[in-house]
Amino acid sequence: MLKRFYNTLVAQKAAQRDAELYRKLIRHEAKIGGQLFGPVPQGGRREFFCLDEHTWVWHEEWYDHNRQHQIKTTRYDVRPDGIIKSQNGQYQQVSPQEARHLRDAVLQYRKRVETELYSFVV
């Protein structure tokens, strides 16, 4: 009985450790992705990351010229029949040009993340 309880605790700790490591890796990937298009303005935050095998997220926060906090999150759902973009609850299919820009960003993201984060794991 005690052994089963101990094994359950150990398994829970391992799962928590794995989940925390995954969150840290995603945050680091998002930070790398946010720097793809130049430095992030002071006081702002920009992230670009792969949420799952079909979903990419671009998130940006900044202060406008009136010092109002602005937030914009764009989610790209890659589907067999095209890419759907959602912003502020609005959904639309992306243009071929925007799809190419997303593809280019994904390629840059993968290259930088591999080089800067995962290159030591070989």
* 107-117 mean pLDDT: 94
Tens of pLDDT along 16-59?
Answer: 888 898 899 999 999 999 999 888 888 899 999 999 999 999 99
CA distances from 116 to 29, 45, 56 (A): 9, 19, 19
In the chain, domain spans: 2-118
Residue-level pLDDT at 69: 94
The edge-to-edge listing of strands for the beta sheet with 45-52 is 45-52, 55-63, 69-79, 82-87, 90-93
pTM for this model (two decimals): 0.81
